[in-house]
Structure 1
Amino acid sequence: MTEFHREIDVENLWPIIWQEARTAADEFPLLADFYIRNLLDHTCFGEALAYILAEKLADTPEHVNHWQCYLQGVLKKDPAIEQAALKDLLCQLQSNASIKDHYTPVLYFGGYQALQCYRFAHYFWMSDQRPVANFIQGKVVSAFGVDIHPAAKIGAGIFLDHAVGIVIGETAVVEDDVTLFQSVTLGGTGKGEGDRHPKVRKGAFIGSGAVIFGNIEIGEGAKIAGGAVVVKPVAPQTTVAGPLATALNQRVA
């Protein structure tokens, strides 16, 4: 069975998103203000993303614009954040058959929004603005049920599917093109400090409810079945399943 893959016009992605939002606003007047506020009032993807996240992070409506300006300033200093956000979006659009437009993840998917909030929190953590990073982490837990430590290192093209209950610890590493389903835990060993969380290599897939403990490596392209408990390294291109994470086969087809 072939995997779903959708071709995306990357060069014109923002104009396509804007036009789809315009059409939706015209067709559903009840939602017009929502589309205008989040997409149509903005001139580019980064500006819209900053506003959407600002609404999630602000304590009061009066603070939304302040947060938007703050986040836009970060995007200017570190363009890699917007580039990663676009790669995350493309990952969703290209591989998720349930998405029928180009803007749904940005507006509605908690996993996507939580991941982008983490990217800003990571910037603030690494810039020695840790109170802001911790504030964002707490907001993300409250808003999305996703707990990602700001110090964790996460690549681009990441797919947090459904996302509720995902926990990623302080010293975890998640490389590019990884998929994590709901209730996945990348947890520590219980010791207070040091390198104690998993390293998930490029292209790995971790199913819902899987828990991975300790400073162990999940190899490139490995697949962890839903509900698996993993306490030992998993070789590249290997599938494991069950409470003891037993190998189902040596190499993924």
Structure 2
Amino acid sequence: MPSRSSQQRARQAETAETAASLPSVAGALWPSLRDEAAQAAGERLLAPLMHQAILDRDGFDDSLAQLLGRKLGDAMIAPAAIAALAAETYRTEPDILEAGAADLRAVRERDPAAPDLATALLYFKGFQALQAHRVAHRLWVQHRRSLALHLQSRVSEIFGLDIHPAARIGRRVLIDHGTGIVIGETAVVDDDVSLLQGVTLGGTGKLTGDRHPKIRRGVLIGAGATVLGNIEIGEGAKIGAGSIVLEDVHPYTTVVGNPARVVGTRHVGMPALTMDQSLPPIDYMI
């Protein structure tokens, strides 16, 4: 009878083989990105950008790495060095690239201000900041923490978002607009979440350890909402704009106000995917 370790290795090999056989999200998006860039290059002033960013690149990995280098490089760490760091990350950890491609598709599907993939890739700082975070998080896990914090600082300076490199963020995440987003060190954001501008996922006081929110799949958090402490926002929940949330929110529940209170419940549906920010009729509250 095979040993437990040999069975585990067999399962891991089977999982890896299955993953390798799946179509690449990044590869699937690349032809569309090139077509969109070629069309945009018809605008004479944009042609150099479209060639440098997309048309002269070897693939989505090369394009995204060069973009992060161009955005985050400075006199201390050259753009080419940042681009090489990102490219090496994508080569050794292809899941990070695939997560970025899934994020880009999510932006295109959920944000009506994104007419195509190229627009989101080149101009949406919420998307760009999230991809920089993915590289910084990998550095953090590798205990290259000073470099991870440097990238965090550059993202904050350039994009106006502050995402700690230790924060764990899933796939198909939309950070809409991005301005003023703060995500703390021990925060967790699961797959298929949408965050609008000004959202804070913060701690409370000077507590140490696990002190930041856990945002579960399909959650939509409205503009300016503040979620504080080691609390859980359940799957499919909706948090209204400007709310202050200090306690757990049950799955498929809508909360609003300061302090936030329940104004509605559902049994199904992921508001992050529909971007439905409507609220049921409620009494006046602050």
- Determine the structure 1 residue equivalent to 2:54: 39
Residues 178-206 of structure 1: per-residue CA shift (max 9 Å, x gap): 00001100010223411100000000000
Aligned positions of 1:1-253 closer than 5 A: 12-25=28-41, 27-60=42-75, 63-251=78-266
Residues 185-241 of structure 1: per-residue CA shift (max 9 Å, x gap): 001022341110000000000000100110000000000000000000000000000
Identity %: 45
Tell me how many residue pairs correspond in the alignment. 244
Asked if 1 retains the 8 angstrom alpha-carbon contact of 2:26 and 2:101, the reply is no
Asked if 2 retains the 8 angstrom alpha-carbon contact of 1:222 and 1:239, the reply is yes
Instruction: Return the offset for 1:249.
Output: 1.2
Asked if 2 retains the 8 angstrom alpha-carbon contact of 1:84 and 1:156, the reply is yes
Instruction: Return the offset for 1:252.
Output: 6.1
Asked if 2 retains the 8 angstrom alpha-carbon contact of 1:239 and 1:252, the reply is no
- Determine the structure 1 residue equivalent to 2:272: none
| TM-score normalised to structure 2 length | 0.82
- Supply the AA of the counterpart residue of 2:32: I
Instruction: Return the offset for 1:63.
Output: 2.0
Asked if 2 retains the 8 angstrom alpha-carbon contact of 1:222 and 1:252, the reply is no
Change (3 A) 1:105 1:61: farther
Distance 1:175 1:211 in 2: 17
Distance 2:236 2:192 in 1: 9
Distance 1:66 1:75 in 2: 14
Residues 106-125 of structure 1: per-residue CA shift (max 9 Å, x gap): 10001000000000010001
Distance 2:76 2:31 in 1: 28
Residues 53-98 of structure 1: per-residue CA shift (max 9 Å, x gap): 0111211499222221221111111111101101101111112222
- Supply the AA of the counterpart residue of 2:35: Q
Residues 6-40 of structure 1: per-residue CA shift (max 9 Å, x gap): xxx98642111112111211x21111111111111
Where in structure 1 do 4 or more consecutive aligned residues deviate above 3 Å? 9-12
192-201 or 168-177, larger mean C-alpha shift: 192-201
Distance 1:201 1:82 in 2: 22
Asked if 1 retains the 8 angstrom alpha-carbon contact of 2:256 and 2:263, the reply is yes
Asked if 1 retains the 8 angstrom alpha-carbon contact of 2:29 and 2:101, the reply is no
Instruction: Return the offset for 1:244.
Output: 1.2
- Supply the AA of the counterpart residue of 2:40: A
Structure 2 gap segments, 5+ residues each: 1-24, 269-286
Change (3 A) 1:149 1:225: same
- Give the RMSD, CA atoms, in angstroms: 1.7
124-133 or 62-71, larger mean C-alpha shift: 62-71
Structure 1 gap segments, 5+ residues each: 1-8
